[in-house]
Amino acid sequence: MTEPDCPFCDVKQFEKQLIAEVNGFYIIATLGQVTDGGYILLIPKDHISCLGMLPDNQLPGLFNNIFKASTAISREYFDIPVMMFEHGIVGQTVKHAHLHLLPTTIGITNKICSDFPTAKTEEIKSTTLQALYRTRQEPYLLWRDPNGRAMVCWNPPAPAQYLRTITAEALGRPERANWRTMDPELDKRLGSDTVRRLKPYFQS
């Protein structure tokens, strides 16, 4: 299932960024490397609006890819923990589900709770995002904090690229927040280096 005008449905649009194609997902180096490399996207091949809509039969592939990608990033980038986040429909610039993974020790939980004090924020413990989404059917922000907790904030009025923006600001690199306006030469160099360094981890 693809959409003709969606950039994440057409592999030709990100061939140079492609790290791997496995278990029904693309793994690519993102445009707008907020960190100095190692920033990737995990994208389902099927055109869905958010990972909350992912069918249960694709969850093993998702979790396997998250584990493998997180391990690769951490090993390749100085054993730094891996942050993970998703704009679940709210704040998206590309209307196709994509999970961000990048090497950093920063936390964003307090910032999100402060910015959206009336939105319900909860830890995902004994269930899955998909099960929660089926019940609520609301836009969300999803992230993993430095302690490894998966967190979700329901229906916040988040602007476009919100999670990228607060991450870039926390890292002291606000000029990298918007992938459309980041220094293109620096971004190309960091993205190419990310592909080169991480691709071997996905080759059989």
Architecture of domain 11-202: 2-Layer Sandwich (3.30)
Q: Edge-to-edge strands of the sheet including 25-29?
A: 18-22, 25-29, 40-44, 99-103, 82-88, 140-144, 150-154, 121-123
Q: Write the pLDDT tens digit of every residue in 141-162.
A: 999 987 889 999 999 999 999 9
pLDDT for 146 equals: 79
Q: Is 44 left (phi over 0), alpha (psi -120 to 50) or beta?
A: beta
Would you kindly state where each structural domain of the chain is located, as residue ranges? 11-202
Q: Write the pLDDT tens digit of every residue in 84-101.
A: 999 999 999 999 999 999
Is the distance from CB of 123 to CB of 149 less than 8 angstroms? Answer: yes
User: What φ, ψ does residue 39 adopt, rounded to 5°?
Assistant: -95, 115
Rounded CA separation 164/176 (Å): 9
pLDDT for 190 equals: 98
Is the distance from CB of 8 to CB of 98 less than 8 angstroms? Answer: yes
Rounded CA separation 152/120 (Å): 8
Local structure of 59: helix, strand or coil: helix
What is the longest distance spanned by two Cα atoms in the chain? 47
Q: Which helix (H) or strand (E) is 111 found in, with range?
A: helix 109-115
pLDDT for 3 equals: 83
Rounded CA separation 71/40 (Å): 13
pLDDT for 174 equals: 97
Q: Which helix (H) or strand (E) is 121 found in, with range?
A: strand 121-123
Is the distance from CB of 89 to CB of 50 less than 8 angstroms? Answer: yes
Q: Write the pLDDT tens digit of every residue in 19-45.
A: 999 989 999 999 999 999 999 999 999
